[in-house]
Structure 1
Amino acid sequence: MNGLLPKINDNLYIQVSSGDASESEAEYRSRIAELEEDAFLIEIPIQESSGRLKRLNMGDELSVYYLTEGGIKNYFYSHVLGFKEDVIRMVRIRKPSPDSIVKIQRRSYLRVNAELELAAKTKSGRRFLVRTEDVGGGGASFLTDPGVALQVGDQLECWVLLAFRNGNIDHAAFDAEVVRMKTLESGRTLAMLKFSRISDGERQKIIRYCFERQFDFRNR
């Protein structure tokens, strides 16, 4: 099973759980310098866009991913166990168990069942508020509002409200196309959306939300 875990010299991409929304969105890169039985020793993480080093503290909660062949992102949770002073200062973080790692392929995004508030606006300017059935990095579905007639091919401007584990509430904005309409036994209609325009940052927020949900389901 150890083939799944990252190795010495592999890069890790890290987000630090923080009450400050902009801080918990920031992504840092680090490198595994040494392996211990239950921990990775990593270099001080750096934010590539600004060159800023991230000072970590004992107990900081981290959301981490590393890349494997084909651009697959392997996500896991970890926390800071301590530090090691050597030629360079290293941070000791908890090594995950291989079965807690969630793989997300770039093409097929993780989807999770989630009731999230979704506000949408049609091309004609009609606005409505619904709750999602599921959401993922590539799209979402929701039970339609009986007062708003939708059909396949309709374009919507959407905002979805995301509540993260650390208590932060954020929203992600995107444009989407209705790709399928399905009538349920209850008589309600389910609309399935595919994102037609979404920035990487907004998509990352949704993927992070899905990853947290997946992780919560798994640890119940």
Structure 2
Amino acid sequence: MYPKINDLLMISVDSGDEKETRVEYKSRIADMDEDSILIEVPIREGGGQLKKLFVGDELSIYFMTDGGVKNYFNSYVTGFKQDVIRMVRIRKPDPDSIGKIQRRSFLRVSGELEVAVRMDNDRRFLTRTDDIGGGGISFYCEPEHRVAEGDRMSCWVVVPYKNGSLEHVPFEGEIVRIKALDNGRKIVMAKFTTIADIERQKLIRYCFERQLDFRR
């Protein structure tokens, strides 16, 4: 069951930072078409700040139906529309994916992709990702590579598709969290700070292909 025009949506945005993903924003549905839901620019719940969104941003959303039941779905930003007000276009979910069980997992999939990392001090290394999404990645880091939360970096990641083609996706990112492993290695979680819309869409395409594989 889809939400309706004028329904209120409660939204969380995947930024790669766990603290930020717990922030809730509210928006209202302004219009709908066959493939998209057009919403007003989200406002932070209790704070009033507008949330600037970008194409490819992953969203966890719920809306209320009669009786106070929360209905959850995941989506992502596909574009914008300027009318009387500025609207954000998000992907309309498959009706079967809308459920009453809370889901806070964003469109992020596990996968070991090759990634080249260049830190701000020009240190460089090659490694592999642990997971990847439209808002950020996490990757393995050997003990000899010193990294810290807040460090910035320039990277590219090799993205393979089911048809056999490969894409090299460049981006700039910031480390938001580091998890130490028992073997001395680390998992570094980073959010994208600069990535072209077309490059983000390449990552989202890969994530959807991987999700289809998992479902099969």
TM-score in terms of structure 2 length: 0.55
Q: Deviations over 1:111-151 (max 9, x none)?
A: 00010000010111111000000000000001113322001
Map 1:48-87 → 2, pairs under 5 A:
71-74=89-92
In 2, are the aligned partners of 1:155 and 1:177 still within 8 Å (CA)? yes
Letter of the 2:176 partner, please give it.
Answer: V
Letter of the 2:165 partner, please give it.
Answer: N
Q: Deviations over 1:3-42 (max 9, x none)?
A: 59xxxx94559xxxxxxxxxxxxxxxxxxxxxxxxxxxxx
1:216 partner SS: helix
Q: Distance in 2 between matches of 1:10 and 1:142?
A: 38
Please name the residue that 1:211 is paired with.
208
Letter of the 1:172 partner, please give it.
Answer: V
> Please, which of 109, 130, 137 is the counterpart of residue 133 of structure 1?
130
> Please, which of 170, 174, 181 is the counterpart of residue 173 of structure 1?
170
Please name the residue that 1:187 is paired with.
184
Letter of the 2:90 partner, please give it.
Answer: I
Please name the residue that 1:202 is paired with.
199
TM-score in terms of structure 1 length: 0.54
Moved over 3 A (4+): 9-13, 69-72, 98-101
In 1, are the aligned partners of 2:151 and 2:175 still within 8 Å (CA)? yes
Q: Distance in 1 between matches of 2:209 and 2:176?
A: 26
1:165 partner SS: coil
1:157 matched to 2:154: yes
Q: Deviations over 1:56-77 (max 9, x none)?
A: xxxxxxxxxx99x97431478x
> Please, which of 89, 114, 117 is the counterpart of residue 114 of structure 2?
117
Greater Rg by CA: 1
Q: Distance in 2 between matches of 1:199 and 1:158?
A: 13
In 2, are the aligned partners of 1:109 and 1:138 still within 8 Å (CA)? no
- Which sections of structure 1, spanning at least 5 residues, go unmatched? 14-65, 77-97, 102-107
Q: CA RMSD in A?
A: 2.9
What is the count of residue pairs matched by the alignment? 135
- Which sections of structure 2, spanning at least 5 residues, go unmatched? 4-31, 37-77, 80-86, 99-104
RCO greater where, 1 or 2, for CA within 8 Å and sep 6 or more?
2
